[in-house]
A and B are shown apart, each in its own frame.
Chain A
Amino acid sequence: MLAVICLLGGLLSASLVRFSPGYGMDERELDPRLSQASVEAIRNSHRLNAGLFSYYGHYLAHAVHGDFGSSEWLQRPISSLIKERLPVTAESVLGGVSLAWLFALTLSLAGVFFRGLYFDISTTLFSAVLIALPAAVVAIFSVYLRTPVFVAIAVVTFPKLFRYLHNLLNHAYAQPYILAARARGISQAKILFHHVLPLASPALFALLGVSLAVAFGAAIPIEALCDSPGVGQLAWQAALNRDLPLIMNLTLLVTLITVAANMLASIAHERVL
């Protein structure tokens, strides 16, 4: 599955790069210092990969050796750019997702545990206001308040997570056997951890991958506006500078990470239960 997505995504991005306006033009051809033979050599190197499939084959052959081509805008190998930027984003995204999960799980569990109407209304309203904030506005507020980048990512991810978790746990709690357990006088905590959570667990594991995708999406505006030198900021700059090879490789990378996280989550779920 992972391999199929890799290959398909690669083909898609290769065709976008290949058919983008201006492909195959090289500024070096205009350099007066180059002789006619050198210009001819540059043109020939492009001509070799003129067809989509030969271009794609060329790209794949280099990609397996860790060479993803080079950025048109920065004139640097894409692999070194990713190596430099990925740790920054990975740190803030992981931090943000963990913080969001911590808050969302605590609040929704507390909601089921206490079952208070006012608690329910206030947490729902709180998350509704947060969900209505565009990620870029959250980024601006985080610049005002000088919070770390991962907090901003958590603020964007939290309301979406909370809404799912809240519905999920409430749905699980409404099952008839929970009522039976309560009627027998089993403690609320035991009901929660022995009956409600196991029922909801498949969906919880599925949410792990989704929350990661949300966090990576939020990383673009947040890193761009908070000036955090990560992959998201790089993608934004690449889009502004029309650097298609770079942004395509970044998109592919993030897709692979989310798909891999989804698969890990489903494997972990099979092992645990």
Chain B
Amino acid sequence: MNARNVRLICAVPLCAIFAAGLFAGTISPYPYAKQFRERPNAAPSSTHLLGTDSLGRDLFTRLIYGTRVSLLLAPAAALLATLLAGILGGLAGLTGGWSEKLILAATDLSTALPLLFVLLALRALLPLDISPVLSVIATFTLLGLLGWPSSLRVVWAATRNLRNSDFLLLARATGCSRWRIIVRHLFPNLRPVLFAQFWISIPVFVLTEATLSMLGLGVIEPLPSWGNLLRGLEDISAVSANPWRLTPLVLLILVVICFQLILPAQEETA
């Protein structure tokens, strides 16, 4: 089995899960917050494919809507983080001098800070009783704003290599403007690096969101996310009675592994 086949095999479930999240409204039979008060903790049946949770809400519906929240917003946060890393790293690598020193020092300081501690501190600054939608935006914006330092070093190193390359010297010698150098020469060469960093960040953010939401500091109920759904695992008697409750965890593991397996291939083609 070569790398291409592995990539293909991983891409199929990822695309399917993404599509399910995207079309959550048409796939799921109920609204995500609808309670069936007469049957809490129900076993899987034809009306409730994965059963219901302790509040009587359909688990399948919540899983699909949770997929939408987690899988659409983690890439958005990754995009923000990669954008920040790209701009700052490119600036540092291209200009050199004191701005490079300053940006790298800031990066060193940020990498020394444990991400989760800083996330908690910033989350504590915001009020806890915000609306669910705001909580989603706050969580993923914080992730995006704090997730850049690890990518920055890579982008910086790549840009610095490019700065010393012959073709950039030639471009400069022929009188290319600064913008043209950045847009036509630098960016196309950085694109694979940026894409790889973007791809690496997604599973990291999905996992961090899950941990934050499980601690009650991420996405707020009744809006579902994978982290919120995993909170159901805390109730061991319910899990042992209905093992289907582990589905969010299985889905999460599957998605993160698929993301990991697809990545090396991307780096090879770069």
A3 to chain B, nearest CB (A): 13
CB within 8 A of B117: which of A8, A136, A235, A259? Answer: A235
Q: How large is the interface on A (under 10, 10 to 19, 20 to 34, 35 or more residues)?
A: 35 or more
CA distance A9 to B105 in the complex (A): 12
Is A29 an interface residue, CB under 8 A from the partner? no
A149 to chain B, nearest CB (A): 16
Verify B114–A213 contact, CB threshold 8 A: yes
CA distance A262 to B114 in the complex (A): 13
Verify B117–A16 contact, CB threshold 8 A: no
Interface residues of B in 214-270 (CB under 8 A from A): 214-217, 227, 230, 233-234, 236, 249, 252-253, 256-257, 260-261
- Mask, B190-207, CB within 8 Å of A = 1, is 000000000000010001
How many chain-B residues does the 8 Å CB contact rule pick out?
35
Verify A136–B230 contact, CB threshold 8 A: yes
Interface residues of B in 120-168 (CB under 8 A from A): 120-121, 123-125, 128
Verify B234–A251 contact, CB threshold 8 A: no
Q: In the complex, what residues of B have CB within 8 A of residue A255's CB?
A: 112-114, 117
CA distance A219 to B109 in the complex (A): 21
CA distance A221 to B117 in the complex (A): 11
Verify A132–B115 contact, CB threshold 8 A: no
Verify A240–B128 contact, CB threshold 8 A: yes
CA distance A224 to B116 in the complex (A): 13
CA distance A221 to B231 in the complex (A): 12
The majority secondary structure among interface residues of chain A is helix
Verify A244–B125 contact, CB threshold 8 A: yes
Q: Taking CB as reference atom, which chain B residue is nearest A8? A: B109
Q: Taking CB as reference atom, which chain A residue is nearest B249? A: A137
A65 to chain B, nearest CB (A): 24
With contacts A136-B230, A140-B233 taken as known, whether A217 is within 8 angstroms of B115 at the C-beta atoms is: yes
Give the most central of A128, A129, A136, A251: most B CB within 10 Å.
Answer: A136
Is B210 an interface residue, CB under 8 A from the partner? yes
CA distance A137 to B229 in the complex (A): 11
Is A20 an interface residue, CB under 8 A from the partner? yes
Q: In the complex, what residues of B have CB within 8 A of residue A243's CB?
A: 124
Verify A247–B124 contact, CB threshold 8 A: yes
Verify B112–A132 contact, CB threshold 8 A: no
Is B54 an interface residue, CB under 8 A from the partner? no
Is B27 an interface residue, CB under 8 A from the partner? no
Is B19 an interface residue, CB under 8 A from the partner? no
Is B3 an interface residue, CB under 8 A from the partner? no
CA distance A109 to B214 in the complex (A): 36
Q: In the complex, what residues of A have CB within 8 A of residue B113's CB?
A: 9, 251, 255
Q: In the complex, what residues of A have CB within 8 A of residue B9's CB?
A: none
Is B176 an interface residue, CB under 8 A from the partner? no
Verify B112–A213 contact, CB threshold 8 A: yes
- Mask, A223-247, CB within 8 Å of B = 1, is 0110000000001101110111001
Is B118 an interface residue, CB under 8 A from the partner? yes
Verify A137–B210 contact, CB threshold 8 A: yes
Is B211 an interface residue, CB under 8 A from the partner? yes
- Mask, A250-264, CB within 8 Å of B = 1, is 110011001100100
- Mask, A47-82, CB within 8 Å of B = 1, is 000000000000000000000000000000000000
Q: In the complex, what residues of B have CB within 8 A of residue A135's CB?
A: 207, 211
Q: In the complex, what residues of A have CB within 8 A of residue B120's CB?
A: 220, 235-236, 238-239, 247
Cβ contacts A to B, 19 pairs, < 8 Å: A9-B109, A20-B125, A133-B249, A134-B207, A134-B208, A134-B214, A136-B214, A137-B214, A137-B233, A140-B233, A217-B115, A221-B116, A221-B214, A236-B217, A239-B123, A243-B124, A244-B124, A258-B114, A262-B112
Q: 19 additional contacts, CB 8 Å, given A132-B203, A225-B214, A243-B124?
A: A5-B112, A16-B125, A129-B257, A132-B256, A132-B257, A134-B211, A134-B214, A134-B230, A137-B233, A140-B234, A217-B115, A220-B116, A220-B117, A221-B116, A221-B215, A239-B121, A247-B121, A247-B124, A251-B121
